[in-house]
A and B are shown apart, each in its own frame.
Chain A
């Protein structure tokens, strides 16, 4: 759920917008390092994926369902800078074309979901990945921890912003407790879905997963030669030509 107009006062909104502009400018530079001249189409398509991913409903129980926030997921799959750009793009498109999230609260939403959501998700992911053995199997669990903590971090930052510039006289402690308890539940779902999605991509195309690169690099090429029926074949430098498929039968 996005912060709407009028939830935080004007000075807080302007300050968060300034932070957002700075963060996104950094991300633009970083994404060019990750993707060079592929940045525009790749980030555009990954942003579309994040948007579509948020549309998919995950049934919880008794007819209720939740959806993915996708910050940590995008960071692990596409790299942190690209993910910041993608989530920001999704938020701008939602604010300008779907009236989802206030236009004056855009900076706040970008700070919460794009910068903190992706940033914390990625940093935690990298930290956990370092602790776990360098294997492809470690990527999904690390992404789960990153996703869980990124949701909690965004909820905490929202409570802090609300304490600074909130427009409703609700005590900040109560907001913090309510936000954290509710977002622990959301975070657990987010962690489970993020791990499942990352796991499914790692299983098929590990080369596309940005967060799996160290594990891929650590793998050594293993050349398996078929055991031939004739062990006394002359040791020639070139491998014996294989019979054409048609003759094999």
Chain B
């Protein structure tokens, strides 16, 4: 398989943040974000504190800021919505740069933007500093049902395999002269997805049989270090 087996968001490193136990990082992420979401949006200085805390963690992790900044684009559609809010919200109007916008709407847009941005940056930091199998071990330590952790593990393992398979199907389609441009091509694309389902399902059956052959009894051996 040509695909890389690390995660595409992971940034290899050995900083304090990288070495911290994954379950602590998960708890810290959820706790921090709950705090951010619960902070009233007019407490501007508190958000400055949140940002400083988060940026300190990013600094300690030694992940280059440009690396994280590039991946912040996932937030774009949501930023567009937040920018629209002052125009469609209710309440008294104020003039900003010659445009009449709703005052509570402006405040709400600020709240959405700052909370959303802190959330994306915090999640990216976790993803950049924690290997997927460490996250899984952390979730298991946090008492997530074992079956569920196994399902996530299989998804992470086969993510690159299945997406690469989809990529090859798409390459094959294009090399035969079909460049999908309009809904006329939906039946062809849907058939690709249909065969991707059949291949994924059959792969699952083969994986299961291979596991049974190796003595699978419903639990997976873990890679957790004895402590």
Least CB separation from A103: chain B residue: B33
A131 → chain B, closest Cβ, in Å? 24
Return the contact of A97 from the options B120, B127, B189, B195 (Cβ within 8 A). B127
Q: B90 near A52 (CB under 8 angstroms)?
A: no
The answer to whether B155 and A89 touch across the interface, beta carbons within 8 angstroms, is: yes
- Of A78, A99, A197, the residue contacting B193 (CB under 8 A) is A197
Partner of B198, one of A61, A89, A102, A204: A204
Contact A93 B182 (CB under 8 A): no
Asked if A41 and B211 sit within 8 Å, CB to CB, the answer is yes
Docked-complex contact B208 and A46, CB < 8 angstroms: no
A242 within 8 A of B: no
Contact A28 B147, CB 8 Å, known A52-B196, A200-B190 = yes
Identify the closest chain A residue to B187 (Cβ).
Answer: A196
- Closest B residue to A196 by beta carbon equals B190
Question: Is A113 on the interface with B (CB-CB < 8 A)?
Answer: no
B207 at the interface (CB under 8 A from A): yes
A47 to B154 Cα, complex, angstroms: 9
Number of A-B residue pairs having CB atoms within 8 Å of each other in the complex: 255
We find that the number of chain B residues with CB closer than 8 angstroms to chain A is: 88
CB distance from A121 to the nearest CB of B (A): 16
A5-B201 contact, Cβ under 8 Å, with A53-B193, A169-B105: no
List which A1-57 residues lie within 8 A (CB) of chain B. 1, 4-7, 9-10, 13-14, 24-25, 28, 32, 37-49, 51-53, 55-56
Residues of A within 8 A of B41 (CB): 167
CA distance A192 to B183 in the complex (A): 10
Q: How far is the CA of A28 from the CA of B190 in the complex (A)?
A: 29
Min CB distance, A96 to chain B, in Å?
6
User: In the complex where A38-B205, A102-B116 touch, is A201 in contact with B166 (Cβ < 8 A)?
Assistant: no
Determine the interface band of chain A, counting residues with CB < 8 A from chain B: 35 or more
Q: Are B147 and A5 in contact (CB under 8 A)?
A: no
Interface of B is mostly: helix
- A243 at the binding interface (Cβ < 8 Å): no
Q: Is the CB of A55 within 8 A of B163?
A: yes
Question: Which residue of chain A has the shortest Cβ distance to B146 in the bound complex?
Answer: A40
Chain B nearest CB from A84 CB (Å) reads 11
Chain A residues, Cβ within 8 Å of B186: 58, 192-193, 196
Chain B residues, CB < 8 A from A85: 148, 151
The stretch among B11-19, B59-67, B73-81 that forms the contact with chain A is B73-81
A226 at the interface (CB under 8 A from B): no
CB distance from B95 to the nearest CB of A (A): 18
B58 lies within 8 A of chain A by Cβ: no
- Alpha-carbon separation in the docked complex, A1 to B119 (Å): 16
Q: Does B44 contact A (CB under 8 A)?
A: no
- Give every chain A residue within 8 A of B162 (Cβ-Cβ): 45, 48-49, 51-52
A-B pairs with the 6 shortest C-beta distances? A44-B154, A6-B115, A5-B119, A196-B190, A200-B194, A45-B204
17 inter-chain pairs at a CB distance below 8 angstroms, sorted by A residue, are A1-B78, A37-B218, A38-B204, A46-B204, A48-B154, A49-B197, A53-B193, A53-B197, A56-B193, A58-B183, A59-B183, A97-B156, A104-B33, A167-B111, A169-B89, A193-B189, A204-B194
Q: Which residues of A contact B (CB under 8 A)?
A: 1, 4-7, 9-10, 13-14, 24-25, 28, 32, 37-49, 51-53, 55-56, 58-61, 68, 77-78, 85-86, 89-90, 92-93, 95-100, 102-104, 167-171, 174, 192-193, 196-201, 204-205, 208
